[in-house]
Amino acid sequence: MTPRYFQPRLRPFTTLPAAPLLGLALLAAIVLLLAAPGLTERRKKPAELPLALTPPESAGTVDVILDAQGRILFQDAAVTPGMLASRLRLLVELKPETAVQLRADAGRGCGDLLGVLDTVRAAGVKTVHLTGTAAPPAKAVAP
């Protein structure tokens, strides 16, 4: 029989303090909760694009318009984001140097504009021109 002082001590490792880890997790959750509203507010701000007085026209450019109501117009026809992607993909397959002129209403939020821009870029378009269109002036109401 071996002496007691030579026997290995097999004990579970339970000395890891849990309180500091819980404190860090709680602190991270509080920071995320405080930062989350600021992250979503940025996507609601109106897009600040340069206003184009006369849009440049060229033979290889197609127009995509995001109007004040949030509709997407492709060559002056209303389309859904899926239809826009399929039409642009077909154009890029036929003519790879196709450019898109994306005109957005100045009052639309950045989130809407980024969604359309992501759709255009996902379709394989390499050149995108961004311009803003001014909202029509408000009509004066007679008293």
Grade residue 51 by pLDDT with cuts at 50, 70 and 90.
low
Looking at per-residue pLDDT, the higher value among 19 and 101 belongs to 101
Judged against a pLDDT cut of 50, whether residue 90 lies above it is answered with: yes
Grade residue 20 by pLDDT with cuts at 50, 70 and 90.
confident
pLDDT recorded at residue 85: 92
Looking at per-residue pLDDT, the higher value among 120 and 141 belongs to 120
Residues 6+ apart with CB under 8 A from 58: 99
Region 41-53: mean pLDDT is 58
Smallest CA-to-CA distance from 60 within 84, 40, 35, 88 is with: 88
For 24-34, how does the pLDDT look when each residue is reduced to its tens digit (9 = 90+)?
A: 888 988 888 88
* Percent of the residues in the chain that have a pLDDT greater than 70, as a whole number: 66
Judged against a pLDDT cut of 70, whether residue 16 lies above it is answered with: no
Judged against a pLDDT cut of 70, whether residue 105 lies above it is answered with: yes
Tell me how far apart the alpha carbons of residues 106 and 51 are, in angstroms, rounded to a whole number. 8
Smallest CA-to-CA distance from 130 within 69, 40, 61 is with: 61
pLDDT recorded at residue 79: 92
Mean per-residue pLDDT of the chain: 77
- Which SS3 state, helix, strand or coil, does residue 60 take? coil
pLDDT recorded at residue 133: 74
The domains found in the chain, sorted by start residue, are: 61-133 (3.30.420.270)
